[in-house]
Copies of this chain bind each other. A is one copy, B any other.
Amino acid sequence: MNVESANKFSRMYKNELDKIELRLNKLLKHRKPRSLYDPCSYVLEGGGKRLRPFLVLASAKTVGAGFSKVYDASLAVELLHNFTLVHDDIMDNSDMRRGRATVHNKYDMSTAILAGDNLIALAYECLLKDCGSNAKNVISTFNHGIIEVCEGQSLDKEFEVRQNVSLAEYKIMIYKKTAALAEMCCSIGAQLGGGNKKQIDALSNYGIYLGMAFQIQDDLLDITAKENEFGKPVGGDLVEGKKTYLFLRALEKAEGEDKNKLLAVIKNKGINKKDVKIYKEIYERLGILDEAKKEILRYTKQALNNLTNLPNKEGREILNWLAVTLTGRNK
C-alpha cells in the first residue's frame, strides 16, 4: 500500500471516528434517570480507538454498502465493548482506565454493574435500528458474540488461578474474549450491508484473524513498547502474573533456571517491577519475541487472505490498511 492511500484511509478513519464520538455523545443525553445514564455517558466519553465500530463500517463497505447503512450498528458494537470494559474493570479491581477513574471507582460498584447491564440493552436497541427483515440473523450473531465474550472472560478469570494453562487453551480464551467480538463486528457489517453467505463468512474470518493478531500484538507490546508511547507501565502483564502468549510460549520452551524463574511468576502471582528486564532477557534468549512477531504476521496474512474475493475494492483496501496499521502499532 502506498503512502497516499494509507494517508487517505487514516483521514477517513479519523473522520468516521469523530462522527462516532458525536453520535455516542448524543445518544444518552436526554434519558432519565441520570443516576443510570450519567455513568453510561461517562464511560462512553472515555474515548478509545473505536476500532469495533470502524470494523462494522468497513465490512459493510466491502460488500458494497455505504457507511450510513450501519451507523447505528456501529454504535451498538461500541456500546457492547464498553459494557465489557465496565464489568471487567470491576472483576479485575482496576481503578483507572485510559487515565480516568473506572466507573465503579468514580461512582460505586452497584452503579457500575447497572450501567454495564444497561449498555447491553442499549446496544441491542441501537443494533435493531439498522435491522430489517434480517433482524433474526443479525441479532443471533450479536447474541453469540456476547456469549463468547462472557465465556472468554470466565476462562480468563479461571486461568488467573489455575497453575497449568496451555498455549492452546490460551488461544481459545483470546478467541472468545477478543477475536469473537471482531468477528461479530465484521459479520454484522457484512450482513447489514447485504453481503451473501460467502462474503459474510469471509469477513467473519477476517475479523477472527485480525482479533487474534491484535491480542498477541497487545501481549507483545506489553514488554516491547516504550513507556511514554504505550500509556501504561511496560511489563505490567508480568508484574500482575498474567499468563500471556509470551509467557506460556516461554514456559513451553524454557529449561533449567529459566523455567524455574517462569514458574516462580505463577507461584508468586506476579513479579517485582524491577525484575521485568530479567524476564525480557529470558523471552529474548528463547526467541519468544520473534515467535510472537511471526505469529502476528501469520494471523494478519490469514486475515488479508479472506479479503481477496470481496466485491468492493475500496472496502478491501480499508480493511487491508487497518490490519497492517494495527500490526505496526506501538500502543
Instruction: Give residues in A with beta carbon < 8 Å to B.
Output: 32-33, 35-36, 83, 87, 90-91, 109-111, 113-114, 116-118, 120-122, 124-125, 128, 131-133, 135-136, 139-140, 142-144, 146-147, 150-151, 153-155, 157-158
Q: Chain B residues near A91 (CB, 8 Å)?
A: 109-110, 113-114
Complex Cα distance, B143 from A131, in Å, reads 14
User: Are A143 and B125 neighbours in the complex by a CB distance under 8 Å?
Assistant: yes
Complex Cα distance, B144 from A16, in Å, reads 29
User: Are A155 and B33 neighbours in the complex by a CB distance under 8 Å?
Assistant: yes
User: Are A128 and B120 neighbours in the complex by a CB distance under 8 Å?
Assistant: no
Q: Chain B residues near A32 (CB, 8 Å)?
A: 151
User: Are B147 and A110 neighbours in the complex by a CB distance under 8 Å?
Assistant: no
Residues of A contacting B: mostly? helix
Which of B87, B122, B131, B135 makes the CB contact (< 8 A) with A114? Answer: B87
User: Are B87 and A150 neighbours in the complex by a CB distance under 8 Å?
Assistant: no
Q: Chain B residues near A109 (CB, 8 Å)?
A: 90-91
User: Are A124 and B150 neighbours in the complex by a CB distance under 8 Å?
Assistant: no
Given contacts A128-B143, A139-B135, contact A117 B114 (CB under 8 A): no
Max chain B C-beta neighbours (<10 A), residue from A114, A122, A125, A150: A150
Instruction: Give the distance to chain B from A91, nearest Cβ to Cβ, in Å.
Output: 4
Complex Cα distance, B148 from A32, in Å, reads 10
Q: Chain B residues near A83 (CB, 8 Å)?
A: 117
User: Are A150 and B117 neighbours in the complex by a CB distance under 8 Å?
Assistant: yes
User: Are B122 and A147 neighbours in the complex by a CB distance under 8 Å?
Assistant: yes
Complex Cα distance, B128 from A142, in Å, reads 11
Q: Chain B residues near A140 (CB, 8 Å)?
A: 125, 128
Q: Chain B residues near A114 (CB, 8 Å)?
A: 87, 91, 150, 153-154, 157
Q: List 9 A-B contacts (CB under 8 A).
A: A87-B114, A90-B110, A91-B110, A111-B154, A114-B153, A117-B150, A120-B121, A121-B146, A133-B133
Complex Cα distance, B159 from A33, in Å, reads 12
Instruction: Give the distance to chain B from A165, nearest Cβ to Cβ, in Å.
Output: 12
